[in-house]
Amino acid sequence: MAKQNGKKIQSKQNKGLIYAIFLVFGFLLYGNTISHDYALDDAIVITQNVFTQQGIQGVDEIFKYDSFVGFWMNSYQGRTAEQIQEEKKLVAGGRYRPFSIATFAIEKSIFGDNPAVHHVINILIYILTAMLLYKVLIALFPLENSRTILNFPLLAVLLFMAHPIHSEAVANIKGRDELLSLLGAIFAAWAYLKYLDKKAIKHLVIAFFAMLFGLLSKEITITWLAVIPVGAWFFKEKNLNKHVAPFLSILVPTLIFLLIRQSVLGWGIGEKQIAQELMNNPFLAAEGSERIGTILFTLFMYLRLLVFPHPLTYDYYPYHIPLTGVDSFIPIAMIILYAGMFILMLYAMYRYARKTASFSLRMWAFIIILYLAPLSVVSNLFFPVGVFMAERFVYFSSLGFVLLLAWGLFDALPKRFPVKSVKSFGIIFLFIVIGLYSGKTIARNAAWENDFMLFTTDVKTSVNSAKANTTAGGKLLERAKLLDNQTSKDYDPQLADEYVDLAIKYLNRAIEIHPSYVDPMLLLGNANYQKNRNIAEAVNWYAEILKIRPYHELAVKNTRLILPQTVGLFADEKTPNTADEIIAACEKFASVKPGVPEVYRIIGLMYARYKSDFETAIPYYEKALEINPKDADAWKDLGVIYGQSNQFGQALQAFKKVVEINPDDAQAMFNIAVTYQNLGDIDAANQWFAQYQQASSQK
């Protein structure tokens, strides 16, 4: 199969055919994503990123700040980028991936908001990665004969391209940080190997810039600082002295990147920096050995999904992955397996240093480092990454798996059992796997069409994820609003009701999983109002939010928006609530968030209009007006209550306040006139009646 000192003898015709295969295969696998919209985290880096939306003009800002800052500037208007960067530390150490985001800004300037362009570019980057990967594997493992294009590097690349676990990285536009970071790492590896062959300075320059742009795309490229020299040492050049120059060509850009990153974000990577919320720190509730046990369980999940990539989901948030003690079977098995891999890798390096390592032993060690090095930085073992696991996190490490599968079945197994049928079986099996993986990839891509499709599809897999249930509920509510709009071409009120009911089911499930999760609480409040104008239930949920987060702006805003609708909804009998239910909900809200005038006004209105308890109603109106003395409607209501209580002097003062605030309020003028009449002041009453008639005639 391989000769370590063999010549590169594959014909140019075969190379051209192989690259054509990669090109066609890439579009066969991911061509169905070109018509897709934005989805998931595309909002963070593209559609709701202030810097990206500025196009080329925003590139400078992209390189100056944490990669989340451009997104957060939409939500925190009035604050500077520096303030947001300091305040919004969601994940340990921050995120600095400017290069990939800058490409989106450039594409925005050239093509506008066009997701199809982004998708095509992602596919092309993926195909280019496959081509470069093939060149690197051929450089490491020169071919024995040129009579066939079939070889284990080709099969490894086809397996890599077809693997469904890559769907998130390619089909999700935001996954470009993964694509570019691996492209940079592989390009640096190619230049490193070329330098060992040619000793040309240009290859050191290429390695330098390839490594730097990979790192600026995503930090995980740093792990290839180990992968590249080890692979080159094992299979290309045994003399370590000859690795000094090429190693420096990838080490120096790494140091430069770390200095740039530090100047932007600082060095800190501790958990104290991040928000203490389960969705940003999934181990928050872990006790004792559960953190390590759960990490070991995710390491098992990565292996399982590489072998059998089903079912796939974008969401591995708590608690799709359960908290697991280290004394469980799977964590114990993973300790043995991963420790064994690490020891085998070190043993192979030791044997090779003593010039006694076989090719197979070196191959095992190289596959292990390809797998373990990138996985180490996303495993949560050394620092938290904000989620238990994610399919995109294994994009780099999957190289080790496909290389093992292709080499093992095409070369290692037939050599151990030199029977023709064994070789044939290996090739047939590999092509069956490539075919199955391809079918799964194409099918999986469909889920990435847009947020609605992704969230409502994956919630059926991530049934125990608080986030998956929340996002699915939110998108169902959005779609229900559209379906319930009579001006919409998709108008379907029955389906809208079904969507709202399903949303409420998912949102309640999210709160079962994570009882203090305010996002589904907010959506449940909205959903209950949207479903049948259940004001009391909505306000109850907003109050629950404020118990947890007293300064939650949306909970207060939504309460102030829906409470004024109470009068009309009661009048038209379009709410299931009773006056007592509204009062109880408002009292609960006021107990956790005093000072919202609409709350006191509605309590007063319920007591006065629907319980005829004027004595109880008046203090609530007075409280509302103490907070907002310019609320003309509240003064008008209070004047009516005073009048019905025969407190005509106070009623007169209240109605005059209305006219003071709104001089053209004809109804207030009429009420003043009637009140003067009740006081026996007929002249004043006639004057106000005249003003009322004049104001009415002008409308």
Model confidence pLDDT, tens digit, residues 512-537:
999 999 999 999 999 999 999 999 99
Look up residue 200 and give its DSSP letter: -
549: its two tokens: 């987060």
- Say if residue 414 is preceded by a cis peptide, omega within 30 of 0: no
284: its two tokens: 């928050």
The dihedral formed by the CA atoms of 332, 333, 334 and 335, expressed in degrees to the nearest 10: 50
Pick the CATH number of 629-699 from 1.25.40.10, 1.20.1250.20, 3.30.360.10, 3.90.1170.50: 1.25.40.10
- Say if residue 65 is preceded by a cis peptide, omega within 30 of 0: no
The class (CATH top level) of 452-628 is: mainly alpha
| Within this chain, domains 452-628 and 629-699 share the same CATH topology | yes
Question: What pLDDT score does 2 carry?
Answer: 41
Q: Which residues neighbour 281 within 8 Å (Cβ) at sequence distance 6 or greater? A: 271, 274, 275, 384, 386
Q: How far apart are CA 1 and CA 405, in angstroms?
A: 15
Length of the chain: 699
The strand pairing partners of 2, in sequence order, are: 143
Q: How far apart are CA 561 and CA 174, in angstroms?
A: 35
> Could you give the angle at the alpha carbon of 442 between the alpha carbons of 436 and 444, nearest 5°?
95
Instruction: Give φ, ψ of 56 to 5 degrees.
Output: -60, -30
Q: Contact 321/389 with Cβ under 8 angstroms? A: yes
Q: How far apart are CA 468 and CA 471, in angstroms?
A: 5
332: its two tokens: 């114990």
Question: What pLDDT score does 499 carry?
Answer: 97
Q: How far apart are CA 699 and CA 696, in angstroms?
A: 5
Helix %, strand %, coil % of the chain (to 5): 75, 0, 25
Q: How far apart are CA 623 and CA 614, in angstroms?
A: 14
112: alpha, beta or left? (left if phi > 0; alpha if psi -120 to 50): left
Question: What pLDDT score does 275 carry?
Answer: 54
Q: Contact 465/321 with Cβ under 8 angstroms? A: no
Q: Is 143 helix (H, G, I), strand (E, B) or coil?
A: strand
Q: How far apart are CA 88 and CA 78, in angstroms?
A: 15
Helices then strands, each counted (H, E), the chain:
35, 0
| Lookup result for tokens 């079904």 | 498
Question: What pLDDT score does 267 carry?
Answer: 63
> Could you give the angle at the alpha carbon of 211 between the alpha carbons of 206 and 251, nearest 5°?
100
| Lookup result for tokens 């796939």 | 312
Look up residue 408 and give its DSSP letter: I
- What is the sign of the dihedral through the CA atoms of 23, 401, 283 and 522? positive
Instruction: Enumerate the domain spans of the chain.
Output: 184-267, 452-628, 629-699
Burial label for 487, CB within 10 Å (0-12, 13-18, 19+), is: exposed
> Could you give the angle at the alpha carbon of 245 between the alpha carbons of 244 and 247, nearest 5°?
65
Q: How far apart are CA 375 and CA 684, in angstroms?
A: 85
Helix (H) or strand (E) run with residue 447 in it? none
Whose CA is closest to 539, among 594, 586, 602, 492? Answer: 586
Give pTM, 2 decimals. 0.91
Residues of the chain with pLDDT under 70: 1-13, 87-93, 144-148, 267-275, 699
Residue type for position 46: I
679: its two tokens: 């006081």
Question: What pLDDT score does 9 carry?
Answer: 46
Q: How far apart are CA 247 and CA 470, in angstroms?
A: 47
Whose CA is closest to 90, among 319, 386, 291? Answer: 386
The strand pairing partners of 37, in sequence order, are: none
Residue type for position 3: K
Read off the pLDDT of residues 641-673 as tens digits, 9 standing for 90 and up. Answer: 999 999 999 999 999 999 999 999 999 999 999
Q: Which residues neighbour 571 within 8 Å (Cβ) at sequence distance 6 or greater? A: none
> Could you give the angle at the alpha carbon of 330 between the alpha carbons of 327 and 333, nearest 5°?
90
Question: What pLDDT score does 81 carry?
Answer: 83
Question: What pLDDT score does 207 carry?
Answer: 98
Cβ neighbours of 91 (radius 10 Å):
20
Whose CA is closest to 389, among 341, 324, 320? Answer: 320
228: its two tokens: 């590249």
Look up residue 286 and give its DSSP letter: -
Q: How far apart are CA 274 and CA 641, in angstroms?
A: 52
> Could you give the angle at the alpha carbon of 435 between the alpha carbons of 10 and 432, nearest 5°?
85
DSSP string, 35-87: T----TTHIIIIIT-HHHHTGGGGHHHHHHS-TTHHHHHHHSTTS-HHHHHHH
